[in-house]
Amino acid sequence: MKILVTGAAGFIGYHLCEKLISLGHEVVGLDNINDYYDVDLKYARLNELGIIRDSISFNNLVDSTIHGLQMQFVQMNLQDEMELPKIFADHKFDIVCNLAAQAGVRYSIEKPMKYVESNIVGFVNLLECIRNFKVKKLIYASSSSVYGMNVKVPFSTDDNVDHPISMYAATKKSNELMAHTYSHLFGIETIGLRFFTVYGPWGRPDMAIYLFADAISKGNPIKVFNNGKMSRDFTYIDDIVNGIQFFLAKTPNENSLNSSNVNYKIFNIGNGNPQSLTDFISAIEFNFSLKSKKDFLSIQDGDVPHTWADISQLEGLGYNSTTGITEGIQKFAAWYKRYHHENN
């Protein structure tokens, strides 16, 4: 198939591109390469795909030096109403995988308009292209953050998600609502995947595991919010990518929201086994053979104390999460040491 992957220079997008290429699909990657975090890391990911930094410029498609026409990339803003349709006109996409978004729960409280521009305006622009160019299927990233102040665990797609506590979460809920509208009006199959705390090699520097590893390896104190009384359904990147790939060729008959709109589906993708923050930190310390200095702080605005994914619907379709934090953190630590050794 020919697949558009938005957010291709991002953490999950990069890994998905690698997976799709290995399966023989043709991939067009799109990313605006914004400076929310270190762009050198984004360019390094693209370099792994054979997309050379010096060849990249806005709105110009470049070929991979490794994979040729099987992997192409364009730097573009998703909300660009003039340029995005040109990509769709030039390529007959079978599927769009939308992983592009302005990320970050805490940053969304400081810079809400960035989230409106990318996550809402950009998403509608993408939906319009999918509609106008007759793309069969959209798979898009939602987030566990949509559960907001939900206290019932594990979090189920049947739970009410009308109480987001960050602008980031609100935009992700908006994506789900807009996808439902386009599924209903235009018969587009949309599959929203609520990711739970993704980690692994090539991860974002603003994510907890990266922040902890960086501080621990440099002997700096780590910030432990809610005085350590946090737990997360940490999900290794391979399990996330395998979950996305699971839906490329398979069209589940089961609708996770029991809606009359059979084209609209929402699923959780998590490990289904939450871990305490203290155990997670201990595993990082073990892999760096160092003990951390901890600054215990109160919970931050936009944060929730616990997440836990109910993945029974996915398991019923034949999907399983297979990587625990012992193996996952070991792989992350090995990559982190190698990457920083090569780039320092």
* Active-site amino acid positions: 168
Using an 8 Å Cβ cutoff, are 36 and 102 in contact?
yes
Q: CB neighbours of 48 closer than 8 A, spacing ≥ 6?
A: 14, 18
| Number of residues that make up the chain | 344
- In Å, what is the CA distance from 106 to each residue of 96, 122, 127, 163, 169? 28, 21, 27, 17, 11
Reply yes or no: is the peptide bond before residue 205 cis, omega within 30 of 0: no
Angle at 338 between CA 334 and CA 343, to 5 degrees: 150
d(CA 273, CA 267): 16
DSSP code per residue over 91-114: S--SEEEE------HHHHHH-HHH
- What amino acid occupies position 230? M
Give the CA angle between residues 304, 309, 313 to the nearest 5°: 150
Question: Which of the 8 DSSP states describes residue 245?
Answer: H
Q: Output the six-digit token pair for 135.
A: 């793309």
For 11-33, letters b (16+ CB in 10 Å) and e give: bbbbbbbbbbbeeebbbbbbbbb
Whether 59 and 83 have beta carbons less than 8 Å apart is answered as: yes
315 and 239 Cβ atoms separated by less than 8 Å? no
**Dihedral angle computed from the Cα positions of residues 243, 245, 247 and 249, in that order, rounded to the nearest 10 degrees:** -150
